Structure 1
């Protein structure tokens, strides 16, 4: 068996069409060989749906039944489209178009604009918020930042559901939407937003779909040309299709039925954006002769994780629940899910960080661990806890891998070496592709052994090491590959944001975790008010929250930790309860309201976290955090740390802030950790604004806990007093 056989990223290309089918289970094979007419694949989490549909396309191409250029595969993220293109290339079907709905529509719109509309095409804007703010100003309506974000979301919902401004008030009531402002005001803002765009000759992402639909509807010659190009369509994540995307798909198809859709109604978690599972659930009604295949063999998760996932859906109600898939794990048994209760959120975060350190010490890689939460505002507590524990982490949705400075520089160096490698003495002794890459990247800071600690130097090394590992996998799959071939692969991955793995625990919201998986998953904050979220009022909204938790559970391959906190902050009122979704599933709970009031039970539940040793929890009413400048209620975690709105005037001592930053850099260097592990920028700003005189004032600043007070308090107070740590006066 060759090394390439073991490479998960770059498997060997099958020699024949029949070889494409090897290794598929009976249901996946049925999908792969169903090449004609409408096909509906109902695929549960972890059942290999991407494998099934990419092998379907590749089998059709390799068997001569499908022409690569006649196939259009669409999905919902650039990452998923990039992964699909990569798999198709490895299966010998590299000419197939795999794109997002927006990417495919934009390509067509740009091509047909001169013919169908004429003149220059309007500029595409990345973000709507500033345009919405300008529209609000034109209407003399004042919106704060939260309202700006919410109104922008309403405008996006209108466009994907094809709702015009005049119809918004009625449509919002019918859909049961919680509107951030009076519906009539939002309709006015929506209309003004469209005027602003028109005046500035710009379009947004939803316009790309709307304009493409309009062109295909109005110009039969354009529609005929598109349909002659694309004969076969595959749609992944079909449960997430919006009415506008469905309309575009229908126009692409025309009167043909060569369509394969793949989805799972139990993973519908984006209805707030206009997504609906109705198109998936109604597929057999629209296409009575459709081939329907169910994928229920779960290759991702252990039977214990699958049992919990099935249990969650067994309690569900509604149309999507009526079509739920009962998963059957194909993996060996693993540990039972662990349930943990904590007195407050910081204790919950510290507990997760402590357990993560234990897992890493036992050999689990940081990149195989994830902490998933309901809202992005929960992230900061876990960032702080992991930083305090010295655990490296990466934020899902933060700086992209290919945008990192060290990765950009490495790409330039590899491209130069590929072009002028014959004149580079570094490559003289490099006999194969991996050794060539190691030789080039050694000049960028890569070494055979990682640097000590977990600071910025280690982070840069991890990025370069990910490129080295990628080169090894690429070379194993393509033994004759050159440096130029690898550079082309990197360019392809950069375009799709298909990054190699970077070591670090992943912090992500449940929504952004869709489509990903880890060996170990921590589901945190699984309490009433957060899961389901407080503003989920209707039965449909509650059920979507249940599906969101189901998505979180099914991200775990082996270890699953579920936790909740009884109060938000230390000493706060312990009035929270575990999520109702866990009733009857976690040990010691019953599937009743009375059971929900019980605090856990034996077997699989970590107990004893409800109070700290020697400390009697104080019960006090939680105070509302308000800006100390304007008095506005604060909800953003960063603003709460500053104790003021981001936009309110700061009375920060700039000199003090710079001295604190210099001191922090020294501390970080000594400990071999990133600077934020000492104190985050927001905490330093808060200290520089408060200039505390004693420990009492210092501990009132969010981000300065007892551990950091003991470790750094004397130094910080000395700096605030105008002294060097150690007692010497600072010269002005």
Structure 2
């Protein structure tokens, strides 16, 4: 692809990113605005114009999936030599290379989970811990390390930050546990993922020859999702840079949702201040979502006051789609059953199961949805479970495929793969059984689908498929499994689907009851923003009034939806308790009118007519412009702009009655 062709594939804002090849560059990219496209085309343009050597570029991001996507796109642009990795993968590779030279011997083994070491440290301190406590303490240890807070400074640090230690423990106990955790880990000859970054950063900071070698190799850096960088990751990045300014970062402060893990948007927000002369570019054209989804996302941001920054107002580029749906249910089981039924209808209409997601605030909410989807007979997968490449059936299948790649075969790749996997239980039709048997079949089907994708390449061979699997396994970049995704809002970051159900949007769940400070509440609202912007076309928001069937209906919808939730929710989700004394049929007609008008002018529905004004119109039932002006909330501008069509809606409603 020529340099001109690379630029021609971009919109004006993305093109500006691609042309900003040198010096510090900060890209503020809203959800769905094509940031990965802009970054990869920037790198490709730099290589094609001779400004960059491909091996001199290191692109880092936060998930293996994002890194894999970046590598795939760069390969398609004819730039295969660029390194695109997660922070940890890039650091681990360098640490493994330099450890024998600096420390001697092989580097320590990286432990996948902290649980056993945390439990041993707690035992040495005579602390009684259960599984939940171990998880919470492990998270706190991780936070202290990525925040670069040593054990002896932990107490002062959390007091200054107004951070509470894990429930049931005071700061002194957690401080001691952090110290003992390090002792146990060192005795076992292990390191954790945070050590990978810390050790590499320390080696680069204290060994000039090593730092020079790395800096000669990597001269230009790209950092994706920069709003989520931690102090420890920034420390490593600073060592990589060595005072140079060839850095391009991209991020969105409105999607900062990991501050509890040590991530901070300050590096992104202060980028232009700390790097004078930096180029700042905004991407606001949303290519992912319909105007209806984008309008709701913008409306949510408009109701929020940011601490020190303004959210990006997105501009939808897609044609209008269906209106956002709002549903209220009596209990959690009713909500889950209705969502499973709606997902089944979408699948029957042609939407792929893997293009549907149900998102919720806490992992504990998944059980009800799992049961509902199982009862409905709709396949699903819970995101955040066992890693794909660690599943026994996947490991066995890859061994067999590797053996088949060594043999001389004339069959096309898809045929050969299906024959190999038939020996471990693959069949074209899924098993009737649910549970483990269905999960095993879904794993094998994902391998078959990947083989079909590889077959589209001109150089497709079994060896190429195995090489692709090895690369994906190293990066934990799993292929797509066909099933409805059930995931927490945190796990959904960076993903997108055709249809998204945002469930459990009630006070105590979103915002979660543990969020008590203004900063914590603001982050909960950003979680909802992330959830909304995952949807391409179909979006449904819902909550249940009680937890269990027959329970007291004490739940209230999330405060974040005040002013955004329609006065009445059409269909089975509507609650007459929300309508006051207005005629529900009239309210429904007015809600439908407001939705259509909002779609036509590409604005949030509440800007057409607020819930309060809508209900007032439904109660007053004005018949003339003069009567309309007497309704509270209806002024001259709204009467002139919307009066004729609004009065027509009321006339048609009267005629039906």
CA-to-partner distance for each residue in 1:677-722, whole Å, 9 max, x for gaps?
Answer: xxxxxxxxxxxxxxxxxxxxxxxxxxxxxxxxxxxxxxxxxxxxxx
Q: Give the number of equivalent residue pairs.
A: 575
Q: Give the equivalent residue in structure 2 for 1:338.
A: 325
Contact kept in structure 1, 2:506 and 2:557, CA below 8 Å:
yes
What is the alpha-carbon distance in structure 2 between the residues aligned to residue 194 and residue 440 of structure 1? Answer: 46
What is the alpha-carbon distance in structure 2 between the residues aligned to residue 299 and residue 173 of structure 1? Answer: 43
Q: Give the equivalent residue in structure 2 for 1:121.
A: 107
Q: Give the equivalent residue in structure 2 for 1:317.
A: 305
Matched, 1:553 2:532: yes
Offset at residue 500 of structure 1 (A): 2.5
Q: CA RMSD in A?
A: 2.1
Contact kept in structure 2, 1:157 and 1:272, CA below 8 Å:
yes
Give the secondary-structure state (helix, strand or coil) at the position aligned to 1:233. strand
Of 501, 508, 511, the residue aligned with 1:532 is 511
What is the alpha-carbon distance in structure 2 between the residues aligned to residue 125 and residue 417 of structure 1? Answer: 32
Distance 1:533 1:474, change over 3 A: same
Offset at residue 546 of structure 1 (A): 0.2
CA-to-partner distance for each residue in 1:170-208, whole Å, 9 max, x for gaps?
Answer: 111221212121111111111111222233332211111
What is the alpha-carbon distance in structure 1 between the residues aligned to residue 367 and residue 78 of structure 2? Answer: 44
Q: Give the equivalent residue in structure 2 for 1:304.
A: 292
Of 450, 454, 465, the residue aligned with 1:486 is 465
Q: Give the equivalent residue in structure 1 for 2:502.
A: 523
Contact kept in structure 2, 1:75 and 1:99, CA below 8 Å:
yes
Offset at residue 568 of structure 1 (A): 1.1
CA-to-partner distance for each residue in 1:79-103, whole Å, 9 max, x for gaps?
Answer: 2212211221221111111111112
What is the alpha-carbon distance in structure 2 between the residues aligned to residue 505 and residue 454 of structure 1? Answer: 17
Give the secondary-structure state (helix, strand or coil) at the position aligned to 2:555. coil
Contact kept in structure 1, 2:327 and 2:569, CA below 8 Å:
no
Offset at residue 109 of structure 1 (A): 1.8
| Residues 156-555 of structure 1 mapped to structure 2, 5 A cutoff | 156-180=142-166, 181-319=169-307, 322-422=309-409, 427=410, 430=411, 432-441=412-421, 445-447=425-427, 449-451=428-430, 453=432, 455=434, 459-476=439-456, 478-555=457-534
What is the alpha-carbon distance in structure 2 between the residues aligned to residue 221 and residue 215 of structure 1? Answer: 10
Contact kept in structure 1, 2:326 and 2:569, CA below 8 Å:
no
Q: Give the equivalent residue in structure 2 for 1:716.
A: none
Q: Give the equivalent residue in structure 2 for 1:32.
A: 18
What is the alpha-carbon distance in structure 2 between the residues aligned to residue 190 and residue 452 of structure 1? Answer: 48
Distance 1:584 1:609, change over 3 A: closer
CA-to-partner distance for each residue in 1:359-404, whole Å, 9 max, x for gaps?
Answer: 2222222111111110001011110111111111111022333344
Give the secondary-structure state (helix, strand or coil) at the position aligned to 1:208. helix
CA-to-partner distance for each residue in 1:560-597, whole Å, 9 max, x for gaps?
Answer: 11111111112222111000000001111xxxxxxxxx
What is the alpha-carbon distance in structure 1 between the residues aligned to residue 220 and residue 570 of structure 2? Answer: 52
Q: Give the equivalent residue in structure 1 for 2:55.
A: 69
Contact kept in structure 2, 1:343 and 1:574, CA below 8 Å:
yes
| Residues 612-627 of structure 1 mapped to structure 2, 5 A cutoff | none
Offset at residue 70 of structure 1 (A): 0.9
Distance 1:557 1:220, change over 3 A: same
Give the secondary-structure state (helix, strand or coil) at the position aligned to 1:394. strand
CA-to-partner distance for each residue in 1:403-446, whole Å, 9 max, x for gaps?
Answer: 44444444334333322124xxxx4xx3x444444454455555
Q: Give the equivalent residue in structure 2 for 1:629.
A: none
Offset at residue 497 of structure 1 (A): 2.5
Distance 1:371 1:69, change over 3 A: same
What is the alpha-carbon distance in structure 2 between the residues aligned to residue 352 and residue 502 of structure 1? Answer: 20
- More displaced 10-residue stretch of structure 1: 186-195 or 516-525: 186-195
Matched, 1:95 2:62: no
Give the secondary-structure state (helix, strand or coil) at the position aligned to 1:169. helix
What TM-score, normalized by structure 2, do the two folds share? 0.84
Contact kept in structure 2, 1:567 and 1:574, CA below 8 Å:
yes
Give the secondary-structure state (helix, strand or coil) at the position aligned to 1:319. coil
What is the alpha-carbon distance in structure 2 between the residues aligned to residue 47 and residue 232 of structure 1? Answer: 23
Distance 1:247 1:564, change over 3 A: same
Segments of 5+ residues of structure 2 without an aligned counterpart are 578-657
CA-to-partner distance for each residue in 1:437-476, whole Å, 9 max, x for gaps?
Answer: 44544555555x5257464666555444433333333333
What TM-score, normalized by structure 1, do the two folds share? 0.75
What is the alpha-carbon distance in structure 2 between the residues aligned to residue 141 and residue 465 of structure 1? Answer: 46
Offset at residue 287 of structure 1 (A): 1.3
Offset at residue 157 of structure 1 (A): 1.1
Distance 1:480 1:167, change over 3 A: closer
Distance 1:497 1:198, change over 3 A: closer
Give the secondary-structure state (helix, strand or coil) at the position aligned to 1:58. helix
What is the alpha-carbon distance in structure 1 between the residues aligned to residue 48 and residue 296 of structure 2? Answer: 40
Offset at residue 113 of structure 1 (A): 1.9
What is the alpha-carbon distance in structure 2 between the residues aligned to residue 459 and residue 494 of structure 1? Answer: 19
Offset at residue 119 of structure 1 (A): 4.7
Offset at residue 145 of structure 1 (A): 2.6
Offset at residue 211 of structure 1 (A): 1.3
What is the alpha-carbon distance in structure 1 between the residues aligned to residue 478 and residue 146 of structure 2? Answer: 29
Q: Give the equivalent residue in structure 2 for 1:152.
A: 138
What is the alpha-carbon distance in structure 2 between the residues aligned to residue 534 and residue 26 of structure 1? Answer: 43
